[in-house]
């Protein structure tokens, strides 16, 4: 069974602080995605990383795919209350299947 | 543009009752369709996926089943619900299957009492 473990599970920080969320697995993925989910809604895609070592930036969010394509990180600079939500990584081991991580619930306090 | 419809939004069912959740997609052809279940505030568990009409792959053996009677229709069913079936059920679609973006419905919150 392929598992994606995220850490931390919960994170509560003050506005303006930086944070990093980790997504780890013992399996290799052809690509990895990060989603953000609001309460009562479906997840929305933030980014897809494909190449080992790849780094992508989306405004204050920086995503990195591990060199061995088994792990990924999401770094948020100067967090804002609008960043609050559930962050989910999703690994694609081959075709069709998307394996989601355990989730990180982020709360940014004003 | 593509849209995904999932209903009902909330459902309260007694233990032992049947279940039918429906998901339809508009604006695309031959999508890959998915059913996920999510415990409160946690990650998504893949239940079923389908790459074509009548083609269902099951990821978790349990008392749930799925069917795809039409290209853009995906149905999640159960003959007898268990307490453990409670959760937030999400339908999603994607095209290509090679790590393309997944589009999710707004979900069904199922409470089995």
- 3-state SS assignment for residue A81: helix
Q: How close B8 comes to chain A (CA, Å)?
A: 13
Q: How far apart are CA A92 and CA A74, in angstroms?
A: 17
| pLDDT, tens digit (0-9, with 9 covering 90-100), for A81-106 | 999 999 999 998 877 889 999 999 99
**pLDDT value of position A3:** 80
* Residue of chain B nearest A5, judged by CA positions: B43
**pLDDT value of position B62:** 80
| pLDDT, tens digit (0-9, with 9 covering 90-100), for A11-47 | 999 999 999 999 999 999 999 999 999 988 999 999 9
| pLDDT(A1) > 70 | no
Mean pLDDT of B29-55: 91
| pLDDT(B40) > 90 | no
Q: How far apart are CA B30 and CA A76, in angstroms?
A: 37
| pLDDT(B61) > 70 | no
Output the six-digit token pair for A91. 């690994």
**Tokens 């095209």, residue?**
B95
| pLDDT(B80) > 90 | yes
Is some CB atom of chain B closer than 8 A to the CB atom of A90?
yes
3-state secondary structure chain B: CCEEEEECCEEEECCCCCEEEEEEEECCCCCEEEEEEECCCCCEEEEEEEEECCEEEECCCCCEEEEEEECCEEEEEECCCCHHHCEEEEEEEECCCCCCCCEECCCEEEEEC
Please classify residue B30 by burial: count the beta carbons closer than 10 Å to its beta carbon, then call 0-12 exposed, 13-18 middle and 19+ buried: exposed
Phi-psi region of B16 (alpha: psi -120 to 50; beta: other; left: phi over 0): left
Is some CB atom of chain B closer than 8 A to the CB atom of A106?
no
Measured between beta carbons, the chain A residues lying within 8 angstroms of B99 are 30-31, 33, 48, 50, 92
Mean pLDDT of B54-74: 91
Is some CB atom of chain B closer than 8 A to the CB atom of A97?
yes
Mean pLDDT of A63-76: 96
What band does A2 get if pLDDT is binned at 50, 70 and 90?
Answer: low
Measured between beta carbons, the chain B residues lying within 8 angstroms of A6 are 43
Mean pLDDT of B99-112: 92
Q: Closest partner residue to A100 among B41, B44, B109, by Cβ?
A: B44
**pLDDT value of position B66:** 96
Neighbours of A105 (CB within 10 A): 17
Higher pLDDT, A51 or B2: A51
| pLDDT(B77) > 80 | yes
């Amino acid at each position: 069974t392929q598992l994606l473990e995220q850490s931390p599970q919960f994170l509560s920080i003050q506005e303006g602080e930086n944070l990093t969320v980790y997504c780890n697995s013992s399996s290799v993925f052809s690509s990895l995605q990060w989603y953000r989910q609001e309460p009562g809604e479906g997840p929305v895609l933030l980014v897809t990383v494909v190449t080992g070592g790849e780094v992508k930036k989306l405004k204050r969010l920086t995503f990195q795919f591990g060199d061995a394509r088994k792990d990924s990180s999401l770094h948020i600079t100067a967090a804002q209350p609008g960043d609050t939500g559930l962050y989910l990584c999703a690994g694609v081991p081959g075709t069709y299947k998307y394996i989601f991580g355990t989730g990180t619930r982020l709360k940014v306090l004003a | 543009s593509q849209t995904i419809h999932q209903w009902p939004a909330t459902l309260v069912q007694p233990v032992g009752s049947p279940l039918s959740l429906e998901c339809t997609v508009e604006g695309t052809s031959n999508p890959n369709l998915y059913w996920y279940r999510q415990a409160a505030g946690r990650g998504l568990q893949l239940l079923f996926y389908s790459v074509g009409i009548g083609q269902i792959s099951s990821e978790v053996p349990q008392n749930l089943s799925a069917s795809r009677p039409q290209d853009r229709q995906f149905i999640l069913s159960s003959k007898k619900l268990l307490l453990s079936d409670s959760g937030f059920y999400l339908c999603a679609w994607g095209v290509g299957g090679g790590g393309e973006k997944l589009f999710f419905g707004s979900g069904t919150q199922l409470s089995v009492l």
